[in-house]
Amino acid sequence: MRALLSVYDKTGLVPFARALRDLGYDLISTGGTQLDLEAAGLDVTSVATVTGSPEMLDGRVKTLHPAIHGALLARTDLPHHQSDLDAHGIVPIDVVVVNLYPFADTVADPATPFADAMEQIDIGGPAMLRAAAKNHDRVTVVCRPRDYDRVSDALRSGASTGALRRDLAAKAFSHVSAYDAIVADYLRDPAGAGFPAEYTVSGTQAMTLRYGENPGQAGTAYARRHAGSHIPGILDARQLGGKELSFNNLLDADAAWNIIRGLDRPAVAIIKHTIPCGCAIRKNLDEAYAAALAGDPVSAFGGIVACNREIDEATARSIASTFYEVITAPSFSAEAQSVLGRKANLRLLELPAARSYPVTPPWDVRPISGGLLVQQTDTAPDNAASWRVVTSRGPTDDERRDLAFAWQVVRHVKSNGIVFVANEAVVGVGSGQPNRLESIAIASRKAASRANGAAMASDAFFPFADNVEAAHAAGITAIVQPGGSVRDAEVIAAADEAEIAMVFTGTRHFKH
């Protein structure tokens, strides 16, 4: 019996190789893997000895040889395959242990020269994994160190079944597929026109969830991988306390974190079912939390709180008076942890709230029945200085400040999103409605008297002047919207009649 070992990640390698040797396997290896095994006192045959050919082209060619791939691909149950092996003096290989060059880690540094990145594209490793996985009826293929103990136990007990080998083969093909997806992502010109004819997504399982959106649905979470610097997300958070995170917790925490990460001053967002119940900016976090909670204290119950500053004791005590599922912040003071830690089920997540987005974020991918919808991620920054005042009256300084804040929040609100803001605090939100008038009505009801003198943001243009009339009836005095409707002139005239200041952004943030 023979085992071929050629790995970059040498975690657990020596104990696994020793287990294979104790089970009677002859070990074959290459390069650094061979040196590590020999340093551990194990007898190893070099691949060059097996192939009769030295490594070539600075190590680019070493395992690409019939003596290796014939030994992996041969079906020894077929007499003519065995005859070919005998004719060429090839001995079958029964176990393959391979993991790949760290291409993703290499290109994570934007300063990596293109030529250096190309050298980290593994060729022999994927070829061996694919060959062994294809022939898994006979060959055991291992690409992840976490499987070493499982495989050695199975081999030791004689329980290396077809089911086990098939499971390992699936992992090998997944590993190669994810690796190739990152290489393709790197080679794809981000400034190129259009989308690729074939698109793959690479991810690594980050955590297993108790269930999906509902108990009858299984669920898990994958960390998205791509070629380039790491893109932070909610799965990077460090959990300090509370029970395990659920599918819905992660969705809502992600939505909350994405709102506050775009705000410079102390800010708090409260999210329920991915919709902001409240969001506010103040001179300190405790005041921001109080203003955010006031936005919709009924809906806030059982929601998610996100802060863009360290949570101190005063803020923690304010938060502790309401039931929440998750609190996210860049950090928690020791006193805050002590206060919030008394709630056994409350999840505390530490996650930096950096404002900037990556230069080339991965595309936004959404599943539909039988397919995927792919689009560029809506991360373009908004420049209030480029907004166009379209009414006779321009916004006051205070109105302009509230309009800017409302526009930052509305980009995170679902379709036909409407946000009312007063004194840099959300006082009413309408979202996910089949028409914009319904959203304005919902926001008006939530804001009540707080809508008097408030600013309003709309994620898309107004199709009719009745939207402005409804906003005026609620007490709104300033509006920000993209513009671009065929009835813009009617909409502007309605705003002028109501003495509402209105600005057009020229861009929309419709979120379906």
Per residue in 138-187, pLDDT (tens digit) is 999 999 999 999 999 888 887 668 889 999 999 999 999 989 988 988 88
Highest mean pLDDT among 90-94, 125-129, 207-211, 316-320: 316-320
- What SS3 string covers 249-289? HHHHHHHHHHHHCCCCCCEEEEEECCEEEEEEECCCHHHHH
Q: What pLDDT was estimated at residue 388?
A: 94
Half-sphere exposure (Cβ direction) of 38: Cα atoms closer than 13 Å: 11
Mean pLDDT over 225-251 rounds to: 86
Q: What is the pTM of this model?
A: 0.83
The sign one gets for the Cα dihedral 378, 380, 381, 385 is negative
Confidence of residue 40 (pLDDT cuts 50, 70, 90): confident
Is the pLDDT at 359 greater than 60? The verdict is no
Domains of the chain plus CATH, in order, are 2-187 (3.40.50.1380), 236-350 (3.40.140.20), 387-504 (3.40.140.20)
Q: What pLDDT was estimated at residue 68?
A: 83
Confidence of residue 378 (pLDDT cuts 50, 70, 90): confident
Q: What pLDDT was estimated at residue 124?
A: 86
User: ∠491-501-265 over CA atoms, to 5°?
Assistant: 125
273 is catalytic: yes
Candidates 81, 134, 230, 343; catalytic one? 134
The residue type of 158 is G
- Of 67-71, 73-77, 256-260, 353-357, the poorest mean pLDDT is in 353-357
User: ∠438-448-260 over CA atoms, to 5°?
Assistant: 80
Candidates 10, 81, 230, 273; catalytic one? 273
d(CA 77, CA 262): 62
d(CA 98, CA 11): 12
Q: What pLDDT was estimated at residue 57?
A: 73
Is the pLDDT at 380 greater than 80? The verdict is no
